[in-house]
């Protein structure tokens, strides 16, 4: 689930740290929730939406479908690749494989 947490906080002149303090949690956890790398319960979402004075619908980005990559940069690159038109013929499979390899091997290099 992708949240509009950073944008909503910024619009209300709040920081993730101040929201985390109001909820009694660490800023790192709030940052992980905002980036989508940590799950969040419906109860916590409700508390966050109350602090930001917005509905749950406004807080959650609409998602078109399941994400292929965890990385938002890789996901954005994938959408760009899928929008390439080679005269009506789908030849983007090579680009998709190259992106997957790049994403996989960059994580493996960082882990070393």
19 has pLDDT over 80: yes
Structure-token pair, residue 86: 């080679």
The region, left, alpha or beta by phi > 0 then psi within -120 to 50, assigned to residue 21 is alpha
| Domains of the chain, earliest start first | 5-59 (1.10.260.40), 72-111 (no CATH)
- Answer whether 40's CB lies under 8 Å from 2's CB: no
For residues 43-57, give the mean pLDDT: 90
* pLDDT range class, residue 22, cuts 50, 70, 90: very high
* pLDDT range class, residue 86, cuts 50, 70, 90: low
Q: Give the pLDDT confidence score for residue 26 in this predicted structure.
A: 92
Whole-prediction pTM value?
Answer: 0.54
Q: Give the pLDDT confidence score for residue 73 in this predicted structure.
A: 75
Q: What DSSP line would sit under 8-73, residue for residue?
A: HHHHTT--HHHHHHHHT--HHHHHHHHHTSS---HHHHHHHHHHTT--HHHHBPP--S--S-SSHH
Place of tokens 């109350």: 50
Q: Give the pLDDT confidence score for residue 16 in this predicted structure.
A: 92
Q: Which has the higher per-residue pLDDT, 13 or 96?
A: 13
As a whole number, the mean pLDDT across the chain is: 79
- Which H or E run contains 7? helix 5-11
Question: Rounded distance, CA 66 to CA 96, Å?
Answer: 16
Q: Give the pLDDT confidence score for residue 38 in this predicted structure.
A: 84
Residue 112, C-beta contacts closer than 8 angstroms, at least 6 positions apart: none
* pLDDT range class, residue 60, cuts 50, 70, 90: confident
């Amino acid at each position: 689930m992708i949240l509009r947490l950073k944008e909503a906080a910024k619009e209300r002149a709040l920081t993730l740290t101040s929201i985390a303090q109001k909820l009694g949690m660490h800023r790192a956890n709030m940052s992980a929730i905002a980036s989508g790398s940590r799950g969040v319960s419906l109860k916590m979402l409700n508390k966050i939406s109350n602090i930001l004075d917005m509905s749950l619908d406004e807080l959650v980005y609409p998602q078109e479908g399941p994400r292929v990559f965890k990385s938002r940069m890789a996901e954005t690159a994938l959408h760009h690749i899928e929008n390439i038109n080679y005269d009506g013929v789908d030849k983007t499979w090579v680009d998709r494989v190259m992106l997957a390899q790049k994403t996989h091997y960059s994580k493996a290099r960082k882990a070393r």
